[in-house]
Amino acid sequence: MLSPIKKIPKLALILPAYNEADGLMQTVNQLQTIKNQLLAAGTIASGSFILIVDDGSTDQTYPIMLAAEQRNDDILTVKLSRNFGHQNALLAGLTEAIKLADITITLDADLQDNPAIIGQMVARYQAGAEVVYAVRDNRANDTWFKKNSALAFYRLASWLGVDLVPNHADFRLLSKKAVVALLALPERNLFLRAMVPLIGYPSAKVYYERGQRAAGVSKYPLKKMVQFAIDGITSFSVKPIKLVFNLGLIISSVAGIEIAYTLIEKMIGNPTAGWSSLMISIWLLGGLNIMAIAVIGTYIGKIFTEVKGRPRFQIEQETGVLQTARPAAKSWSNLPAYQRAQ
């Protein structure tokens, strides 16, 4: 199907940065080079820019950003009032960038997301896609553990009914239409890679090889990664609660058989010695009970954060032009829940 030719878009490249002082300028310089090439080729419009979001860094990230912003017209900055986390920093960047841009591309500040494919991503947008996912075509640079845990995660998520694009993280192009739709989702528990497929619209994929970090260390140690995976799944699927219910059902039937057995034993006058079986049952059932309560507690915790309706991010300072520009979408961030529902 032929899609209508879109006008040449103004592109915003959004970089969330948390303690990225060591490698930030290297990333920004590369992005500027690519941006200028695309500008010269007529792929993107003048006024395209790079937006760096400081997510409460405690190192020199923000002073470095400010110095870059002062030297360059095409670098804009947003400083969040504290560390809100990667997903919230991305959302803050999208909310602000879309005031000025027609399309956005979010990418890591550490050059792991190869900027060489930006041109291809914009071409897919021109060909009709409103969302373009950058997908890793191999995991050769990953450890055995990371490779297999990622695979297990995608399998589990898909089995639980969470719609995800395998091997795609947060390197993606969103058109203004897609960003506006995304910003209308009022949830506080953000898991963007599952929220984006929810908004629909035509999408495309571009494949790339994910590199090593240019400088600094990963902000996702194992514990945070596992937490992120659990958080993602429980934000998009209630199947774990059903599984716990089924488990309870199976265990209760076993208990039923046990009761029948004990009664028969008693009737035929064969007293049970059963101390160990009793202990095992107590510990097993106790453990399962606690686990079941924890699963339900996880969901109640999520409801708790949602009803509080706290802002998803708070901007402390930003480039002047962003302060004065009109929001592209009604901002849900600062409204209490009862107003958001209207």
Positions in the binding site for ligand UDP (CB under 6 A): 16-18, 20, 55, 83, 85-86, 89, 108-110, 112, 218-220
Q: How many beta carbons lie within 10 A of that of residue 297, not counting itself?
A: 12
* Distance in Å, CB of 7 to ligand UDP, minimum: 30
Distance CA 89, CA 83 (A): 8
CB 41 within 8 A of CB 64: no
Taking the CA atoms of the chain, what radius of gyration do you get in angstroms?
25
Please tell me whether residue 55 binds Mg ion under the rule CB under 5 A. Answer: no
* Distance in Å, CB of 218 to Mg ion, minimum: 6
* Distance in Å, CB of 84 to ligand UDP, minimum: 7
Q: Which residues pair with 13 in a beta bridge?
A: 50, 105
| Nearest by Cα to 131 from 188, 76, 65, 182 | 182
* Distance in Å, CB of 110 to Mg ion, minimum: 4
Distance CA 131, CA 172 (A): 7
> Which of ligand UDP, Mg ion, none does residue 83 bind to, with CB < 5 to 8 Å depending on kind?
ligand UDP
> Which of Mg ion, ligand UDP, none does residue 96 bind to, with CB < 5 to 8 Å depending on kind?
none
Can you tell me which of 108, 130, 170, 318 binds Mg ion, judged by CB under 5 A?
108
Of residues 207 and 228, the one with the C-beta less far from ligand UDP: 228
Binding part of the chain for Mg ion, among 28-36, 105-113, 145-153, 192-200 by CB under 5 A, reads 105-113
Of residues 54 and 108, the one with the C-beta less far from Mg ion: 108
Q: How many beta carbons lie within 10 A of that of residue 298, not counting itself?
A: 16
Q: Which residues pair with 80 in a beta bridge?
A: 315
* Distance in Å, CB of 110 to ligand UDP, minimum: 5
- # residues near Mg ion by CB under 5 A: 3
- For 187-223, the DSSP string reads -SS--HHHHHHHH-S-EEEEEE-----SSS--S--HH
* Distance in Å, CB of 53 to ligand UDP, minimum: 7
**C-alpha distances in Å from residue 198, one per residue of 1, 184, 298, 324:** 23, 12, 22, 31
Of residues 230 and 303, the one with the C-beta less far from ligand UDP: 230
Distance CA 309, CA 307 (A): 5
> Which of Mg ion, ligand UDP, none does residue 85 bind to, with CB < 5 to 8 Å depending on kind?
ligand UDP
| Nearest by Cα to 14 from 133, 83, 126, 115 | 115
Binding part of the chain for Mg ion, among 77-85, 104-112, 178-186, 249-257 by CB under 5 A, reads 104-112
Six token digits for residue 79: 């400083």
Of residues 208 and 332, the one with the C-beta less far from Mg ion: 208
> Which of ligand UDP, Mg ion, none does residue 86 bind to, with CB < 5 to 8 Å depending on kind?
ligand UDP
* Distance in Å, CB of 141 to Mg ion, minimum: 11
Of residues 35 and 79, the one with the C-beta less far from ligand UDP: 79
Please tell me whether residue 69 binds Mg ion under the rule CB under 5 A. Answer: no
Of residues 85 and 232, the one with the C-beta less far from ligand UDP: 85
CB neighbour list of residue 94: distance below 8 Å, 6 or more residues apart? 14, 104, 106, 174, 179, 182, 183
Of residues 106 and 319, the one with the C-beta less far from Mg ion: 106
Can you tell me which of 55, 69, 110, 130 binds Mg ion, judged by CB under 5 A?
110
Q: How many beta carbons lie within 10 A of that of residue 142, not counting itself?
A: 14
Please tell me whether residue 112 binds Mg ion under the rule CB under 5 A. Answer: yes
Of residues 55 and 96, the one with the C-beta less far from ligand UDP: 55
In three-state form (DSSP H/G/I as H, E/B as E, the rest C), the secondary structure along 80-113 is ECCCCCHHHHHHHHHHHHCCCCCEEEECCCCCCC
Which positions lie near Mg ion, rule CB under 5 A?
Answer: 108, 110, 112
